[in-house]
């Protein structure tokens, strides 16, 4: 697969999908599955077009993304695609829908098939929709394939719904909609050593991920290609009058100094909410109980 940042002419007919693809959840995965199948059937190139920043962020509306751009590119690298275009949204934000179809999709990507979800919108001020696409398909000679939404536990899978689940700390529901565990990536930084003083040394985690579920979680840490069961706290450390949000992970059976190293933390289940304890001793006792609960949760789906 080629990952490109410029909308160049690919030189061959293609099947295309377009979207924000934040999280690459089950709905997105179904779209890509249909795209690749149709492209193979017609002997077309399979093409995905996505953007950065997210349109809501571009227009100053504020949004916390499920994945960083680095994580999105990593995920794309493992898909059945011939081309992935990862372009600056500002290049396309002011284009009228018909102009976007004619100049970009047909003119540069040589699109013959477009695979999208039912609620797909595009072009300046989101004026383009399925109705617009179907009208323009006769003019430009391409087919529109609509993919039905995916449902999980009676809910329609969407990036918005996953963001809500994560913001509420419901990492299990988010995992079901993503089709995999929610993970954050970051770098280990030196802390003040409070975890070690309590008997449970922690990795202090600096991350670019924007969605940090609040609470205490059973997690799995990936360090140097190895995986470890872990306990992660995301919060403000109220027992010690903390104010800023921190991410701290106690990795079971791991006590090495790895400052500056990259670590991935994947969420398995929520153990409890963060709360203030009367003393460090009481907090230490609770952490021991939290770790004990992880031992019994090892059979949980990952």
Same domain? 90 vs 229: no
The pLDDT > 70 percentage for the chain reads: 93
Read off the CATH number of the domain in which 139 is found.
3.40.50.620
> Does the pLDDT of residue 301 top 50, yes or no?
no
pLDDT digits (tens, 9 = 90+) for 169-220: 999 999 999 999 999 999 999 877 677 767 788 999 999 999 999 999 999 9
Q: Which of 95, 120, 155 is the last residue of a domain?
A: 155
Q: Which of 155, 174, 206 is the last residue of a domain?
A: 155
Ordered alpha helix ranges (H), 8-111: 26-42, 55-58, 69-76, 97-99
Please give the Cα distance from 63 to 158 (Å, whole number): 14
pLDDT digits (tens, 9 = 90+) for 100-125: 899 999 999 999 999 998 888 776 65
Same domain? 131 vs 17: yes
H/E run at residue 45: strand 45-52
What are the structure tokens assigned to 302, written together?
Answer: 């990952």
- Is there a domain that residue 167 lies in? no
Same domain? 8 vs 151: yes
- Is there a domain that residue 161 lies in? no
Residue numbers of the domain that contains 243: 182-296
Cross-strand pairs, 34? none
Read off the CATH number of the domain in which 208 is found.
2.40.30.30
- Is there a domain that residue 165 lies in? no
Q: Which of 117, 136, 155 is the last residue of a domain?
A: 155
- Is there a domain that residue 163 lies in? no
State the pLDDT at residue 277: 86
Same domain? 17 vs 136: yes
Same domain? 148 vs 32: yes
- Residue 219's nearest CA partner among 194, 239, 175, 249 is 249
State the pLDDT at residue 193: 67
Please give the Cα distance from 163 to 178 (Å, whole number): 11
- Residue 166's nearest CA partner among 23, 19, 29, 20 is 23
Same domain? 26 vs 141: yes
State the pLDDT at residue 110: 96
Please give the Cα distance from 14 to 142 (Å, whole number): 10
Average pLDDT over residues 45-58: 91
- The pLDDT-based confidence of 45 (bands split at 50, 70, 90) is very high
Same domain? 151 vs 187: no
pLDDT digits (tens, 9 = 90+) for 229-239: 999 999 988 77
- Residue 56's nearest CA partner among 186, 210, 234, 235 is 210
Domain count, the chain: 2
Same domain? 58 vs 135: yes
> Does the pLDDT of residue 241 top 70, yes or no?
no
- Is there a domain that residue 37 lies in? yes
- Is there a domain that residue 137 lies in? yes
State the pLDDT at residue 159: 96
- The pLDDT-based confidence of 145 (bands split at 50, 70, 90) is very high
DSSP 124: G
CA angle 192, 195, 198 (to 5 degrees): 125
Query: What three-state secondary structure class fits 40?
Result: helix
Ordered alpha helix ranges (H), the chain: 26-42, 55-58, 69-76, 97-99, 130-140, 159-167, 171-178, 194-197, 280-296
- Is there a domain that residue 175 lies in? no
State the pLDDT at residue 296: 58
- Is there a domain that residue 162 lies in? no
> Does the pLDDT of residue 163 top 90, yes or no?
yes
The set of residues, in sequence order, having a beta carbon less than 8 Å from that of 110 and lying 6+ positions away, is: 9, 10, 11, 12, 13, 14
Same domain? 187 vs 259: yes
Same domain? 240 vs 283: yes
Same domain? 119 vs 254: no
State the pLDDT at residue 228: 94
Please give the Cα distance from 23 to 11 (Å, whole number): 30
Q: Residue 142 in contact with residue 113, Cβ under 8 Å? A: yes
Please give the Cα distance from 87 to 6 (Å, whole number): 6
> Does the pLDDT of residue 243 top 70, yes or no?
no
Same domain? 149 vs 190: no
Asked if residue 53 has a cis previous peptide bond (ω within 30° of 0), the answer is: yes
Q: Mean of the per-residue pLDDT values for the chain?
A: 90
Please give the Cα distance from 48 to 29 (Å, whole number): 12
Please give the Cα distance from 50 to 32 (Å, whole number): 13
Q: What angle separates helix 159-167 from helix 171-178, to the nearest 10 degrees?
A: 160
Average pLDDT over residues 16-25: 95
State the pLDDT at residue 297: 56
């Amino acid at each position: 697969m080629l990952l490109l940042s410029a909308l160049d002419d690919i030189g061959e007919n293609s099947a295309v999908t377009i979207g924000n693809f934040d999280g690459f959840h089950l709905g997105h995965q179904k779209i890509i599955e249909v795209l690749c199948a149709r492209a193979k059937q017609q002997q077309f190139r399979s093409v995905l077009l996505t953007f950065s920043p997210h349109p809501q962020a571009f227009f100053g509306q504020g949004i916390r993304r499920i994945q960083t751009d680095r994580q999105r590119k990593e995920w794309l690298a493992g898909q059945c695609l011939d081309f992935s275009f990862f372009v600056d949204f500002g290049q396309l934000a002011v284009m009228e829908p018909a102009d976007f179809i004619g100049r970009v999709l047909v003119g540069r990507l040589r699109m013959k098939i477009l695979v999208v979800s039912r609620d797909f919108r595009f072009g300046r001020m989101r004026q383009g929709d399925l109705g617009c696409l179907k009208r323009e398909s006769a003019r430009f000679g391409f087919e529109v394939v609509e993919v039905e939404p995916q449902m999980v536990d009676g809910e329609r899978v969407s990036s918005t719904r996953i963001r809500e689940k994560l913001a509420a700390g419901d990492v299990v529901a988010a995992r079901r909609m993503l089709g995999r565990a929610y993970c954050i990536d970051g770098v280990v930084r030196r802390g003040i050593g409070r975890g070690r003083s309590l008997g449970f040394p922690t990795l202090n985690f600096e991350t670019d991920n924007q969605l940090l579920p609040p609470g205490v979680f059973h997690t799995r840490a990936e360090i140097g290609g190895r995986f470890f069961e872990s306990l992660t706290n995301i919060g403000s450390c109220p027992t010690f009058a903390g104010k800023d949000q921190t991410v701290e992970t106690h990795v079971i059976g791991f006590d090495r100094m790895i400052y500056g190293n990259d670590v991935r933390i994947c969420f398995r289940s929520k153990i409890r909410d963060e709360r203030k304890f009367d003393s460090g001793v009481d907090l230490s006792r609770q952490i021991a109980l939290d770790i004990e609960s992880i031992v019994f949760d090892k059979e949980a789906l990952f």
